[in-house]
Amino acid sequence: MKQKFNVIKSTCVPLPLKNVDTDQIIPARFLKATTKEGFGDNLFRDWRYNADGSPKKDFILNNPRYKGVVLVAGKNFGCGSSREHAAWAIADYGFRIVISSFFADIHKNNELNNFVLPVQVSERFLEHLFDSIKSDPNTEVIVDLPNQTVTNTATNEEEHFEINGYKKYCLENALDDIDYILENKDKIVQFEQARQHV
Amino acid sequence: MNTLFDKIWDAHVVQIIPDGPQQLYIDRLYCHEVTSPQAFEGLRRRGLKPFRPQNIYCMPDHNTPTHDQDQPIADPVSRKQVDTLARNATEFGLNHFGMMHPKNGIIHVVGPERALTLPGMTIVCGDSHTSTHGAVGAVAFGIGTSEVEMVLASQCILQQKPKTMRITINGKLGKGVTAKDLALYVMSQITTSGATGYFVEYAGKVVQSLSMEGRLTLCNLSIEMGSRGGMIAPDETTFNYIKGREYAPKGEAWNKAVAYWKTLYSDENAQFDRELEFDASKIEPMITYGTNPGMGIAITSEIPASQCATDVKALEYMDFKSGETLIGKPIDYVFLGACTNGRIEDFRAFASVVKGKQKAKDVTAWLVPGSWNVDKQIREEGLDKILEAAGFEIRQPGCSACLAMNDDKVPAGKYCVATSNRNFEGRQGPGARTLLASPLTAAAAAITGRITDPRTFL
C-alpha cells in the first residue's frame, strides 16, 4: 500500500452522513482475517448489501453515477473503534483521499499510515462540494499535497488543508513511521538508561 | 505549572521531530487477537523482533466464546485468530494469557486488576478502549495496527501531542446514578466528537468520590466523546486498589513508587486548552435512543426532535419517534459486561436489583464477567447464588455481545439494553438495536422486560 502521493484529480463518491463510525466502514464480523488484503469487498458492508448478499440499489457504492478515488463524507468521519481494518478497507476499495469537515483522531492516523490522505475542509466547502456532486456527478476535485490545497472544480473554490511537515514528507516519498523510528534506535536506548521512574 | 497529562507525557518523550510528531516511549503494550496479527506479520516481513518483549502482554478477548472455553472454538476463523496470537506470542517470547488461563479476560479489565497498569505509565493497545487504563493516572490510548507494529519494533510511537481538556464534575450523584450515567450524560452534552483532539482529565468532588471501578468505567468511555484518552489523578483510592495486586511493586519499591505517584496531579495553576464543568445533581439515570453513544437522554425524558438526516436515519433504525419516552417499551435482550461494565462492582449492582425477583420470561440475558478474576470474585461473594436464583446464568469471560465477534449476537430488529460502550448500527449483530445504560438500568429491564427507571427498585 506504500505509494507516493502528489497531485490527484478525480471525481468523488459522496456520503453525506455525519458520525460515520468504523463499525459501519467495516463491521466487526469481518475483522477476523490475519492479513491486510481483501477488506474492500466488505467496505460499508451493511449499508451496501442486503442480508442475502444482494446489493442495496440506493447506496452510493452501488450507484454507477459515482466513481473516483475520493470519498467525501460528513463531519466526524471514522469515529469509534480503532480498527485499522477500516483504513485497509478504504484503501483496498481504491480510495486514496477522504474529504470531510472533521476526522476522528485514531482513524485519521490509520488513513495516513496506509497512504490514504484525510483532507479536512470547512463545513461550507464540504456543503458546496456535496451540492456540486449532487447536481453533477462528474464534478472533479483537485487535491494538491505539495501545496496543501483542495479545489472544487465546479465552483472553483480552493481551500488550504493542514498536514504536518513530517507526514507530508512521508506521503510524498512513500516512507512509513517505522522506517523513520528504526533509524533512531540509539536514542531509545539512551532514553531507557536515563529515566528514573518506571 | 503542568497538567497531570503533561507530566507523564513529557517524561516519556524520546525526541521531538521538527514540524512533526513526538517520539513517545511506551511502558506497556497490550495486544489482543484482532488488531495484532498484521502487526506481527509486518515485523516478520521487516526481519525484526520485538524490542522489549518483557513489556508486552497478549491475551485473546474479542473472539472468545462465553461458554465451553475448554473446547476448541467452533468458528474456524475465530479459532485461527486466537491461535495466531498464541503462536506469535510464543515465537517472539511475549507474555500471553490464553483462553482458560486464570489471568485471561478482557485486556482492559485484566490490566488494572493485575496491576500491570500503574500510575505514571504510558500504555497503548490496538483498541480504542485503552483509554480505560487512564483511571489509575496513566497516559493510555488506543492505536491502529501499523502503530502496534511500530511499538513492537521500537517500544516507541510517533504521535502528535494532543491538547488538554479538564472535565470537572461537582455536586453529588443522585440515587441510582452511576459512573456510566455520568459518562453518558457528558457525551449527550458534548457529542461524540466533543473531545476529539484532546486528552481529558476528569476532576472534581464527584470523580474523587468514585470507586476505582467507577473511574475505569468513566475513563473507558472517553473515546466515545472523541478523546484518545481520559485520566484521573492517582490518590488514596488508587493506591489502596493497587496495593498487594499481583504485578504491583512490593516492599521498598512500593514506597518509592507511591512517593512518585503522589507527584502526579495537575498543578494548581495548570493551564488546560479547554475546561468544562458539570453539575452532577442534574444527572439522572441515562439511556441511549439512537445509533451513537452521544444520543442519550435521562431515562424519564422524551426523545428530542431530529435535526439532520443522520438523526432521522438513527430513529428509523431504532424504530423510535421524536417526542416519545422510552419507559415501558419492551426489550428482548440484556447484556451485562464489556470493558465498560464487566467488573465486580457492576455485578454487585446488577445483583442488588434482581435479588429476590425473577428474570422476565421473554428476556434473554447475557451476564459476562470481564475476566476469570471477576468470575472468581462473583462466586466468593455469593453473587452467583443470587443471580441464579433470579433466573440468570453467568457466562465465561470475554468481550462477548459488545461487538458480537463470537456467538453472542442480538438478532435483527431486537432490542438489547447493554452495559457496553457502543450502540452503532449492527454493533451487536446485523440489524440489532442497542440501548446503552448502567448495570442498574440493565437489571431493571431484565426483571420487567421493559425499559424501566432503576430507581423504582432502589
Query: Residue B87 in contact with residue B191, Cβ under 8 Å?
Result: no
Terminal-residue alpha carbon distance, chain A: 37
Cα–Cα nearest to A71, from A50, A49, A46, A40 = A40
Is the per-residue pLDDT at B183 higher than 60? yes
**What are the C-alpha distances in Å from A56 to residues A47, A92, A134, B143?**
7, 20, 19, 33
pLDDT band of A3, cuts 50, 70, 90:
confident
ipTM, 2 dp: 0.95
Query: Do B405 and A19 make contact, defined as CB atoms within 8 angstroms?
Result: no
Residues in A touching B424 (Cβ below 8 Å):
21, 23-24, 80
The distance of B218 to chain A (nearest Cα, Å) reads 16
Residue with cell 440468570: B392
Instruction: State residue A184's pLDDT score.
Output: 82
The cell 521487516 sits on which residue?
B46
- CA–CA distance, B427 with B429 (Å, rounded to integer): 6
B303: its cell numbers = 426523545
B92 pLDDT above the threshold of 80: yes
Closest residue by Cα to residue B227 from B144, B132, B310: B132
Interface probe with A: pick from B12, B13, B157, B424, most Cβ of A within 10 Å: B424
Q: Does B313 touch chain A (CB under 8 A)?
A: yes
Report the pLDDT averaged over residues B15-36: 97
pLDDT at B63: 97
Catalogue all structural domains in chain B, each as residue range(s) with its CATH number: 1-284 (3.30.499.10), 286-457 (3.30.499.10)
Side chain identity at A103, as an amino acid letter? F
Asked if A181 and B153 come within 8 Å (Cβ–Cβ), the reply is yes
- Whether residues A197 and B120 touch (CB distance < 8 A) is answered with yes
Measured from the Cβ of residue A198, the count of other Cβ atoms closer than 10 Å reads 13
Mean pLDDT of chain B: 97
Convert the pLDDT of each residue in A36-49 to its tens digit. 999 999 999 999 99
Mean local confidence (pLDDT), B425-448: 98
Q: Is the pLDDT of residue B73 over 80?
A: yes
B293-333 pLDDT, tens digit per residue, is 999 999 999 999 999 999 999 999 999 999 999 999 999 99
Q: Taking residues B115-121, what's their average pLDDT?
A: 98
Does residue A1 have a pLDDT over 80?
no
Tell me how close the Cα of B127 comes to any Cα of chain A, in angstroms: 5
| A residues 68..127 contacting B (CB < 8 A) | 74-76, 79-85, 87, 102, 104-106, 109-110, 113-114
For B293, name the nearest residue in chain A, comparing CA atoms only. Answer: A80
What residues of chain B lie within 8 A of the CB of A74, using their CB?
Answer: 310
How many percent of chain A have pLDDT more than 90? Answer: 91
Strand B333-336 to B95-96 pairing: unpaired
Tens digit of each residue's pLDDT (9 = 90 or more) over A79-138: 999 999 999 999 999 999 999 999 999 999 999 999 999 999 999 999 999 999 999 999
Q: What is the pLDDT of residue A195?
A: 85
Question: How many angstroms separate the Cα of B422 from the Cα of each of A141, B75, B426?
Answer: 34, 24, 10
CA distance A151 to chain B (A): 25
3-state secondary structure of B119: coil
d(CA A86, CA A44): 9
Give the neighbor-by-neighbor strand order of the sheet with B95-96: B95-96, B56-58, B28-31, B122-125, B139-142
- What is the distance in angstroms between the Cα of B448 and the nearest Cα belonging to chain A? 31
**What is the radius of gyration, based on Cα positions, of chain B?**
21
Within a 13 Å sphere around the CA of B6, how many CA atoms are in the beta-carbon half?
13
Q: What is the grid cell recorded at B214?
A: 467507577
Q: What are phi and psi of A158, to 5 degrees?
A: -130, 140
Give pLDDT, residue B1: 81
Are B192 and A19 inside 8 Å of each other by CB? yes
**A197, pLDDT greater than 70:** no
Residue A179 is predicted with a pLDDT of: 87
Mean pLDDT of B147-174: 97
Q: Is B93:B225 a contact under the CB 8 Å cutoff?
A: no
Burial of A22 (0-12, 13-18, 19+ CB in 10 A): buried
Tell which of B27, B30, B31, B34 to mutate to test the A interface (max A CBs under 10 Å).
Answer: B34
The pLDDT of residue A198 is above 60: no
Q: Answer yes or no: is pLDDT of A196 > 80.
A: no
What backbone phi and psi angles, to 5 degrees, belong to B100?
Answer: 75, -10
Give the mean model confidence (pLDDT) for residues B136-155: 98
CA B297 to chain centre: 20
Which chain B residue is nearest to residue A76, measuring alpha carbons?
Answer: B193
Mean predicted lDDT score pLDDT of chain A: 95
